[in-house]
Structure 1
């Protein structure tokens, strides 16, 4: 229960922080602190500290300027300590992680005058693997790599150039001297994915204590910091990965954890993506044929281990079967999809979606055969991985040496992971779609495969509610979701449904401290047209940008379509185009730096961006005075997951446009207008170039969910 002692600790930390920072208490922030304290403090437990009942999930919508980070930290930390639990703060973006680690948590420690330890959690693939680094440098010293390893390195486009070797030597020197902690994000320069992939590892490849470099391992050094931390900063992907492994693998055990999901509105979509799968037929045939070609080499290198030899001897039959089955599958999919490669361009890939997730019986039969064949391949490769890991254990009495084990394990685990991924996908395709059961979205995409084409087979759940309920909400001790956009059209129904929140979850909207009516204007031009008239709408955007945008101010123009953004650029005069910073032409970081530099020099600057620029962009003051939203940000109508979900809702008598499309657009629109005012003193204007907010019934709903800017129809 929320004891007087815990209440006193929360109040003391909060008031001390405000006093030391010379800040005034914000009404919304105080409400947020109180709600989180009530929920987490009210959790019932048994004698061993495990949760037994009571609401344990809290969702709080708090707009920019509320100070939600301080609110959830100062409310949760005293309760976690009193209950002997640990806090995992999970974010959707690297920028917020950095803000927590570099600013928010140190500030709380210093100004609230409370002592606690905190650490940043990352997956293994963000850290240097010393064993992989040694292997890369051994090759550079003149030792000829085996044919098989060379073939797979070439297929994976792994970088073994002189420049890469020089980079690896620099990495070794920097790490061993203590000047670098071994994580990718703190390396002094950007790293290309193929170059980094050669010197990192993952959960499956890592041999933990069996590794000769275990005591000096960058990942396990960082992991030790987690063991002592009261607060662990992670991201949604890492939390989901840990939960899918059963929980408590990298992060603390869920039953001993209070999760705080900042940017919590992203969690359902992140979970859907996490459990989606894809399989490229020609690309997979390539690695299967490479494996088949390498069997002689593998036998020569690992032939001393009878168990491995037994697996290798059974692989030719499995690989021949898979080649035949995939060739048959490729022919069938071509007949079903009837794709025309001439329709492909850089931005659009032809997609064939199976309506309601139902695939033809012939494809179900092939998928069943592929599931069985990949299961056999998984079994053989799993045995090989175990034997190679045993070779690295001095007590295992292995027939092959530790050096061979370290050298061949990365290849074996990579092949095993690919086989498992393929088995999972074909398992999902081999399941006939049952009636009255939420379908799995299934679709085929035509892809470029170097100089040839390929068919990518994909599937995805259409909802993560059940998964999150069983793997997160049910086992965790407590959780807080926080975001500026948890409600849609004024209710929490969307996040409750999509995230599978318990029925007794506490939900609260707290007011923003901003004076929206005085500081901001929402403008809807009367000559704005319906964006479904694409050419006319594009021309209208061009005219508006030429006539109404002040080129001396910081401006952000948000598009829902990459094609329309390009069309607008092509129709604008060259002089204006030269003043525009365009997403895709520069990295986000470089683009924002150039924008700020221009504004600092009083030059004015215009950014053209897509959906990723409608959220998470922080440009306070003069850096952003005008936001132009070209259209209501409805989701792409041909997204396979969204369309399958729409069919499911229609089948059950619902209206997918009103139940999904409009609420989703509402959240995106709130995020987009949220780019304008970032501090209480900011001022500016938002222009919405979409007439539907004035002419359609849902337009009023969308406008009513926006902050109370002064509205002007001009």
Structure 2
């Protein structure tokens, strides 16, 4: 069978399993588009697609992708099969996807799907057993070196206690028993709530790349991480997140190689931000100074022990000397930056000084003398990085099983290597500073020059995304309900590096036209201005409207841009309505209050959800579970971050318009996401209210309204209400 025949067979199977299953026109068109890039050698290997809510993008992408891999892999060797990697930006969407996976399996489609998380989410049995030993039996090989009171003077935080309470050890013990009885996957996210460990406990027992190798006595199907990786290798569909996809690009240590992967990228409007996250560099002064002072003894022990295990030359003395030189160069460098930071902070209002971020332009970096100190630090750190890396690599290559104490020491050596590697990468960026990149210094709320972090980030990552991802992958489907701006994909094209002719572009129609026409969009030309100077009046007007809407709706959602205004509105609610309100972060975490909301609606009670930006995406409350959505303000995004400020300045310098090209597209996508919470199925009906008059009074507002769904519109003024 060819791909189209296989797709038809899968759809027929789903229809047999679900008698009322119907493939929508836009979904069929989407499948045809994917089939075209799979069958037609002259077509691009990538698709950019905007599919409104209800189009069925997960099944619409999975079905042709499965058909393609089934047909293609019949002609390929076992070691060269094409895998499907379906990535999302949120855990909630991964769980929704699993429902579609189970539907396809139940319909007779033979494939294996598997969720992938990072190594650090797995427990390591060896580390757990080491932690459960009595303190008196644990080797004291990681004792910190005492470097005197100087640590406190520079702001080095006090060392974290290495003692783990008996309560925490009992949790670890019970977790291991559950693992043994196959009652737990070994992933921290799946751990029973009563066994939730403290962060410092989990850091001691989690899997570590530096000691996770075949020499471990627990290596094999008994190790949660190894078992998960075996399942990954045998899976046809791998479900993960965008951050994991980008983090794994360099080594392909967990996911299949990009060259033999068909990537389905859901919520693709988050792709660029996720890629930026993997590309941002930083150097923590406290962490690096700690490495060069307190941790010298532990590092020396690790190198000496590792050299003996791997039977290689011991560079312990050289590494120690170089780290001491780094410490001596780091002290005046930290003080220099801290003094300059305080000079900068003095120019700001008192309320902003403790949280101010000091942006560094390339002129300052090259002319202030910073680079001289950086060169000295970098030259020694590069050698130390290489020496430690060689020890770890030789240990992993050696055919020797590590005991518990050796694994603990080598694992900690790997932590120091990662810290040094991060510092070297950041220093490299500064030593090769470009005007188009962003650099900044952030002081933390503590005393001393070590309580700061130095950052660097590329402003434009489109070329990196193109070279590292788009040009390497086998095929890709980038899709979202909000991927375009101003009727085109210009922002996504520019930011991601993916555009025609390398990709086909599609915008599909909504299947919910009737649902929108029987629902209302409420607009307020006379509402108070939504700026901070008038926020209390704006908040009170929102409360008045909430009282009116919730007098006849049972299920509502009110969205805010800031927690400050959210809290103010909540404080102004009348007691009766407040009792029926579930506030994000106050009445529980997101998942908890959504579950509570559903239960209240099932009981026939009134429930109003109140939250910020995270509630405007991934919230799927159909029909009677949500009939009203209120939007406090247009969300123009946070453009006070150093990277975004630099991007805006670069754009303006080249003759562009930062508001039109950066800020407004962000507001358009955020508004569409928020409005999209209401109509989630053909049966949905309800009302959306936008409590921001700018959508009617500003020139850009007409464009935003034009690209919203075709709701019946009602306008509210002081004199009258009309539609």
Find the counterpart in structure 1 of residue 248 from structure 2: 242
Q: Is the 8 A contact 2:521 2:714 kept in 1?
A: yes
The CA deviation string for residues 308-348 of structure 1, in whole angstroms up to 9 with x for no partner, is: 42334423233222233323332233334447795269xx9
Q: Using the alignment, how far apart are the partners of 2:604 and 2:262 within structure 1?
A: 47
1:104 aligned residue (100, 103, 108): 100
CA-CA distance at 1:472 after TM superposition: 0.9
Structure 1 contact 559–629 (Cα < 8 Å) conserved? yes
Q: Which residue of structure 2 aligns with residue 183 of structure 1?
A: 187
Aligned pairs for 1:136-155 within 5 A: 136-140=131-135, 142-143=137-138, 145-146=140-141, 148=143, 155=159
**2:152 equivalent in structure 1:** none
Please show how residues 383-398 of structure 1 align to structure 2 within 5 Å.
383-387=387-391, 390-391=394-395, 395=399
Show the counterpart of 1:519: 518
Contact residue 445 and residue 456 of structure 1 kept, 8 A? yes
**In 1, are the aligned partners of 2:141 and 2:409 still within 8 Å (CA)?**
no
Do the aligned partners of residues 539 and 13 (structure 1) sit closer, same or farther apart at CA in structure 2, a change above 3 Å counting?
same
CA 1:299 to 1:646, structure 2 compared with 1: closer, same or farther past 3 Å?
closer
8 A contact 1:559–1:610 mirrored in 2: yes
User: How far apart are the structure 1 equivalents of 2:478 and 2:299?
Assistant: 51
Residue 459 (structure 1) shift: 2.5
1:43-82 matches, cutoff 5 A: 43=41, 54-82=43-71
Assess, with a 3 A threshold, how the Cα gap between structure 1 residues 508 and 358 changes in structure 2: closer, same or farther: farther
1:220 is aligned to 2:220: no
Deviations 1:169-214 (A, max 9, x none): 11222222332221122212244433322111343x2442232321
For 1:641 and 1:10, how far apart are their aligned partners in 2? 44
Q: Distance in 1 between matches of 2:282 and 2:398?
A: 39
Q: Distance in 2 between matches of 1:374 and 1:63?
A: 50
SS of residue paired to 2:445: strand
| 578-587 or 610-619: bigger deviation | 578-587
Q: Does the aligned pair in 1 maintain the 2:50–2:508 contact within 8 Å?
A: yes
Q: Which residue, out of 104, 110, 116, partners 2:111?
A: 116
Secondary structure (helix, strand or coil) at the match of 1:613 reads: helix
Q: Which of residues 263, 267, 273 is equivalent to 2:271?
A: 267
Q: Secondary structure of the residue that 1:433 maps to in structure 2?
A: coil
Distance 2:327 2:665 in 1: 48
**CA deviation digits over 1:375-404, x for unaligned, max 9?**
5235325423543564576547x9xx7555
Q: SS state of the match for residue 599, structure 1? A: helix
**Alpha-carbon contact 2:543-2:569 (below 8 Å) kept:** yes
Q: Distance in 2 between matches of 1:28 and 1:277?
A: 42
Alpha carbons of 1:551 and 1:385: their partners in 2 closer, same or farther (altered >3 Å)?
farther
- 1:639 & 1:650 partners in 2: Cα distance? 16
> Is 1:520–1:710's contact at 8 Å kept on the other side of the alignment?
yes
Corresponding residue pairs, total: 686
Tell me the SS of whatever aligns to 1:182.
Answer: coil
| Structure 1 segment 535-546 matched on structure 2, within 5 A | 535=535, 536-546=537-547
Partner of 2:605: 603
Partner-residue secondary structure (3-state), 1:12: helix
- SS of the residue 2:95 aligns to: helix
Distance 1:392 1:405, change over 3 A: farther
1:128/1:149 Cα in 2 relative to 1: closer, same or farther (>3 Å)?
farther
**Contact map agreement 1:581 1:608 (CA 8 A) in 2:** yes
2:466 is aligned, of 469, 475, 479, to 469
Separation in 1 of the partners of 2:497 and 2:579? Answer: 48
CA distance in 1, matches of 2:179, 2:157: 25
Deviation at residue 30 of structure 1 after TM alignment: 0.6
Q: Give the C-alpha shift of residue 450 in structure 1.
A: 8.6
Greater mean deviation of Cα atoms: 560-569 or 530-539: 530-539
1:51 maps to: none
Q: Report the Cα offset of residue 464 of structure 1.
A: 2.5
| Alignment-derived partner of residue 47 in structure 1 | none
Alpha-carbon separation, structure 1, partners of 2:178 and 2:389:
32
The 5 A counterparts of 1:669-708 are 669-708=671-710
Task: Give the structure 1 partner of residue 566 of structure 2.
Answer: 565
Does residue 129 (structure 1) correspond to residue 124 (structure 2)? The answer is yes
Equivalents in 1 of 2:273, 2:398: separation in Å?
45
Q: Which runs of 5+ in 1 are unaligned?
A: 45-53
- Maintained 8 Å contact 2:300/2:320: no
Matches of 1:211 and 1:332, distance apart in 2: 49
Cα–Cα, structure 1 residues 453 and 618, in superposed 2: closer, same or farther, change >3 Å? farther
Separation of aligned partners in 2, 1:403 and 1:149: 19
CA contact 1:447–1:453 (8 Å) conserved in 2: no
Q: Which residue of the partner structure matches residue 709 of structure 1? A: 711
Q: 2:366 aligns with which of 341, 361, 366?
A: 361
Aligned to 1:87: 84
- Provide Cα deviations, 1:659-700, integer angstroms capped at 9, x if missing partner: 111111111100000111112111111000111111112101
2:13 partner SS: helix
| 1:217-257 deviation per Cα after TM superposition (whole angstroms, max 9, x unaligned) | 211111111222111111101100111x24x3211111111
Q: Secondary structure at the match of 1:527?
A: coil
Displacement of 1:525 in angstroms is 2.3
For 2:475, the equivalent position in structure 1 comes to: 478
Looking at structure 2, the residues matched to 429 and 528 of structure 1 have their Cα atoms a distance apart, in angstroms, of 48
Give the secondary-structure state (helix, strand or coil) at the position aligned to 2:411. helix
Q: Residues 496-536 of structure 1: CA distance to partner in whole angstroms, max 9, x if unpaired?
A: 11111042111111122112433321101232233135333
Say which SS state the counterpart of residue 606 (structure 1) adopts: strand
Work out the CA distance in 2 between the residues paired with 1:595 and 1:491. Answer: 37
Which range is displaced more, 227-236 or 170-179? 170-179
DSSP 3-state at the match of 1:646: helix
| Equivalence for 1:257 | 261
CA distance in 2, matches of 1:336, 1:43: 58
What's 1:632 paired with? 634
Select the residue among 464, 477, 493 that pairs with 1:496: 493
Identify the residue that residue 554 of structure 2 maps to in structure 1. 553
* SS of structure 2 residue aligned to 1:180: coil
* 1:483–1:158 distance in 2 versus 1, CA, 3 Å: farther
How high is the TM-score relative to the length of structure 2?
Answer: 0.88
506-515 vs 369-378, which moves further: 369-378
Q: Does 1:530 align with 2:516?
A: no
CA shift for structure 1 position 544: 2.6
- Give, in whole Å, the separation in 2 of the partners of 1:325 and 1:641: 24
Q: For 2:391, what is the secondary structure of its paired residue?
A: helix
Distance 2:449 2:324 in 1: 26
Q: TM-score, normalised by structure 1?
A: 0.89
Instruction: Name the structure 2 match of 1:423.
Output: 424
Alpha-carbon spacing, 1:131–1:295, altered in 2? closer, same or farther (3 Å): closer
- The answer to whether the 8 A contact 2:525-2:696 is kept is no
Alignment partner of 2:117: what SS? coil
CA RMSD of aligned residues (A): 2.9
- Taking the aligned partners of 2:556 and 2:215, their CA distance within structure 1 comes to 56
2:497 and 2:46 map into 1 onto residues whose CA distance is 11
Structure 2 stretches lacking a partner, 5+ long: 74-81, 147-155, 717-723
1:688/1:452 CA distance change after superposition, 3 Å:
farther
CA distance 1:298–1:274, shift in 2 (3 Å): closer
